[in-house]
Amino acid sequence: MSAATICPSIPSDEELLGRFTTGERSALDELFRRYRQPAYRVAHRLLGNEADALDAVQEGFVKALTHLSGFQGRSSFKTWLLRVVSNAALDLGRQRGRRETLSLDNNLGGERVHAQLLTSDQAGQGLEQADLRMLLDLALATLSDVQRQTFVLYADAELTYREIAELMSTSIGTVMSRLYYARQKLRAYLSERTVP
């Protein structure tokens, strides 16, 4: 359900896209404000740093809006945008060799992270949380591209299985399978690197 059906004063994505195509700058601002966060989270998870993630977000918005004819309302704009952003991020990651960098386990120095961190109660643990984020990124780097993309679209962009299947041009069963095996690998990786 679009926001416009809840509150008439909030324009739908379709309205904003229509206004964008007529050259209204504020429509782009609103679309960017609306979807920058999920796009950035997906890109950051796939690339591991803010600068590259912002590059991928920029690339994704530009491509998604330049090629609206390819979108044609077959899915939501969010799904279309995240498809382009995640593909741009994977492409950028390949160009910049993120996986090789991460595989060095830099900054963690091979130390084990205390399992206590693997809870949601982490207030006041800024530095340790940064380590945990690094560990989570390293775990993601062990997955194949399609597994990482699937997991990140589910966990960070909060897309449904159906939306991910549409986005990746595959079946819901495949999404289900990728998510299961992705979590198995993440769990195995993290359990080896945490202490009770």
Positions in the binding site for another protein (CB under 8 A)? 25, 28-29, 32, 36-37, 40-41, 44-45, 50, 53-54, 57-59, 61-63, 65-67, 70, 74, 83-84, 87-88, 91, 118, 120, 122, 129, 132-133, 136, 144, 146-147, 151, 154-156, 158, 160-161, 168-170, 173-174, 176-184, 186-187
Smallest distance, another protein to C-beta of residue 10, A? 20
20 φ/ψ angles, rounded to the nearest 5 degrees: -60, -40
Residue with smaller CB distance to another protein, 99 or 183? 183
Smallest distance, another protein to C-beta of residue 3, A? 20
Smallest distance, another protein to C-beta of residue 19, A? 14
Q: How far is CA 80 from CA 14, 135, 172, in A?
A: 13, 29, 17
Contacts of 55 (CB under 8 A, 6+ apart): 92
| Dist CA 138 CA 62 (whole Å) | 29
Contacts of 68 (CB under 8 A, 6+ apart): 17, 21
Residue with smaller CB distance to another protein, 2 or 37? 37
Burial class of 76 by CB neighbour count within 10 A (0 to 12, 13 to 18, 19+):
middle
Residue with smaller CB distance to another protein, 7 or 164? 164
Residue with smaller CB distance to another protein, 11 or 82? 82
Smallest distance, another protein to C-beta of residue 132, A? 6
Tokens of 60: 């994704």
Tokens of 156: 């960070």
Residue with smaller CB distance to another protein, 8 or 72? 72
Residue with tokens 């690094």: 134
